[in-house]
Structures are given as structure tokens and as C-alpha cells.
Amino acid sequence: MTENIVVSDEEAVRIITMRRADKKNALTQAMYLTMSAAIDSAQANDAIRCLVIAGVPGAFTAGNDLEDFLKAGTAASDTARPNAAMTLLRSLANNTKPLIAAVDGVAVGIGTTMMFHCDYVIASTAAKFSTPFIKLGLVPEGASSLLMPRAIGHHRAFATLVMGRTVSAEDGQAAGFVNQVVAPDQIEAETRKVAREICALPAEAVAISRKLLKPPPEELLKRIEQESALFGERMRSKEAVTAFQSFLARKRA
């Protein structure tokens, strides 16, 4: 557990809020595990009909805490990538509950990857989505190489995943992975409204229909493992280590 993740159940909705505002919700290993546990424990709880993942005003998540992530990912072991991150990705792949993302501000790396595991995305006009994996000498993660092209097409996915171009909330809506764009001060109220709408629907029919719409968990997990092996190799590559060191040096300057 970590104080940087707040989990609250409001009637039939479980809200998972990332709260590490001083670091723009950069994700630590403990944060990954707490989020994963909140998702997993909802699966067999019939009282929970919908999940929400949110951040603080101005930041959904800046992605991984890079110093922590670089230390874990370059360790001399056979682990493909830090286990805590993989635990969350597996939880997302196996999740059976409708999942809403409420995004204000930056959604970097896994922050954008999560959108493609969600069923409904509400973004503020200040939301910015980016996946700078290749710029750090890495490869896509979390089945994003499978889910993103399916959702927005190969060409948009290439520009986002490979070229690392930032996507605005409006562009995300045009691409099809953002459902609604609202003012920052409206995102919380609108998210609750959508969650209540989902919870009012017949639960079994929602679950069956959602399962029909999404790739089977086995397919997602296979791609996650494939990406993870490559990600782990890249984390230990000279190209990636140099890119990370350069990035961290710029941050400290």
C-alpha cells in the first residue's frame, strides 16, 4: 500500500486516484502494486460495477519514476522488466469491469497505454498524451502495440508510438480513443455522471458485451509478455542507458 494511491468506493463505483502531485504522479513500484490490488479485488465484488482511474488536477501521470525504473530495469537479472509494472499490466488485461479514465494534464508512457485498456475516456482540454518509448531507446509496452493500431489505425499509432508525437485531447477524440473533452473543472463531475450511467445498466449484459468488444485476455497477455521481453532487453542496451542518462542529466541541470 502507498499513500500516493487513494482507493475509494462510492456506491457501485471504485475510484483509484493517483496522488503524487509533486512528481506529476510519476509511478513508483509501490503505486503500481496498490493500483493492481485495487483492480484485482474488485473482480469478485459484485457490489463494484465500474472502475475509475484518475489523477490530480493538472496531471494524470508523468509515467514511470525514471530513476526508480532505470535502477530496476537495468538490474542484472532475468526479469524482463520491473515486476510491479507488469503486475498492473496483467491486472488491466484480466479486468472484467467497465473501466473509465479521467485525464487532466499529462498522460505519459503507461499513462497513455492505460487508455487503450479503458472502455471510456474523459479528457480535459489540458490533457496531453505521449509515449516517448523510442526516444528513450525502448519499445512499446502493455499491449499498446496491439491495442493502439486497432483503435486508431496503423498510421496514427506509428506517429504516436514510434515517432513519439504528443496527442491533444481534441486529437485523441478525433482519433477515436477519447470519448469526451471537457473543461478541467468539469472532469470530476462528468466522470461520475458517466460512471452512474454505466452502473445503471444490467450488469451481466454489460459484462458479456464488454467481453465481446475486447480482445481475449490471453491475446493481450501474450503481447504484453512479448513486449516485456523486448523492453527488458532494450533497458539493458547501451542505446537506452545512454538515452536515460542524458534525460536524467537534463532534469538535474
User: Hey, where are the domains in the chain?
Assistant: 5-183
CA–CA separation, 142 and 229 (whole Å): 12
Mean pLDDT of all residues belonging to the chain: 93
Using alpha carbons only, how large is the chain's radius of gyration in Å?
17
Q: What is the mean pLDDT of residues 125-130?
A: 98
Q: Can you give the pLDDT at residue 70?
A: 61
- Is pLDDT of 80 > 50? no
Question: What are the Cα distances from residue 182, in Å, to 103, 104, 127, 149, 178?
Answer: 10, 10, 10, 25, 11
More confident residue, 253 or 243: 243
- Is pLDDT of 72 > 80? no
Q: Can you give the pLDDT at residue 61?
A: 98
**Per-residue pLDDT reduced to its tens digit, 206-227:** 999 999 999 999 999 999 999 9
CB atoms within 10 A of CB 109: 27
Residue 1, burial from CB neighbour count under 10 angstroms (0-12, 13-18, 19+): exposed
- Is pLDDT of 139 > 90? yes
| Predicted confidence band of residue 79 (pLDDT cuts 50, 70, 90) | very low
Residue 122: strand pairing partners? 102, 180
**Per-residue pLDDT reduced to its tens digit, 14-56:** 999 999 999 999 999 999 999 999 999 999 999 999 999 999 9
Q: What is the mean pLDDT of residues 135-144?
A: 95
Q: May I ask the CATH class of domain 5-183?
A: alpha beta
**Per-residue pLDDT reduced to its tens digit, 224-240:** 999 999 998 998 899 98
Query: Of all residues in the chain, what percent carry a pLDDT higher than 70?
Result: 93
Which residue's entry shows cell 475510484? Answer: 15
Q: Can you give the pLDDT at residue 81?
A: 45
